Amino acid sequence: MKKEFNNYFIYLLIFCIWLIVQYGIFYLLNFFFVPFVWFVLILFLLILSIRNLVLLIKRWKINRNLRLFKFFIPVILLASTFYRFNYFPNLMYEKIDWNINYNKRIEVITKVKSGELKPNVSWNDWVCELPFEYPIISNGGNDIGISKNEKTNEYTISFWIFRNFFDSPSTYLIYSEDLETLERLDKKVKNEPDNNWKIKDNWYRIHGEYWE
């Protein structure tokens, strides 16, 4: 009985660790490290799922309920690790994040307009790494993208919801006052409404490129 309890506990612990890793990927990790962590997580869950499937088949009549539990937990976590399986939970999470961090994002936008925050990384001319005193309001490293129309002095500021790696496109929360950018955003919303929409005046949720 104690051994069986320990088995259940270990897999519940794996589930808790998976939640922590997902939180880290979504909020804390720099996007350079996300592919590596994602790959290790997928590999671990895949190996564990295959191992438990083999044991389930070979020892079907021994502790069947426990073996089914040990098989389905990593399989469910493996499926949930992929974005497509997480689509609707992610949308709900985005909604919560939008409401919680709205005022902080407005504060950042105000500081961008005043010139206090500017692009500040050596490897890109539009990314601004936010100071440590800011809460995480842009996923994948807490960077934001700053674009300015030099003719009108109007800004477009991008917050990452999901920061791309490999061939996966980024997802952005975008604030813009620039008319040219707003036209492109409205066009993208019209052409791909399933993944792109206007939240309120000047605010958009955009999946993939939007500047072309």
Q: 177-200: per-residue pLDDT in tens?
A: 999 999 999 999 999 998 899 999
The per-residue pLDDT for range 33-62, each reduced to its tens digit, is 767 777 888 899 999 999 989 988 888 777
Q: Work out the mean pLDDT of the chain and round it to a whole number.
A: 85
Residue type, 154: E
Q: What is the pLDDT of residues 167-177, one digit of tens each?
A: 668 889 999 99
CA–CA distances in Å: residue 193 to residues 65, 124, 184:
44, 30, 13
List pLDDT tens digits, range 64-105.
788 888 888 888 888 877 755 566 667 777 888 899 999 999
Instruction: Report how far apart, in Å, the C-alpha atoms of 203 and of each of 9, 36, 65, 115, 151 are.
Output: 44, 32, 49, 21, 21
Q: Region 22-38: what's the mean pLDDT?
A: 68
Write the DSSP symbol of residue 102: H
206 pairs with which residues across the strands?
172
E strand or H helix at 19, and its extent?
helix 2-23
**166: which 2 tokens?**
């490999």
pLDDT of residue 169: 80
pLDDT greater than 90 at residue 27: no
% of the chain exceeding 90 in pLDDT: 42
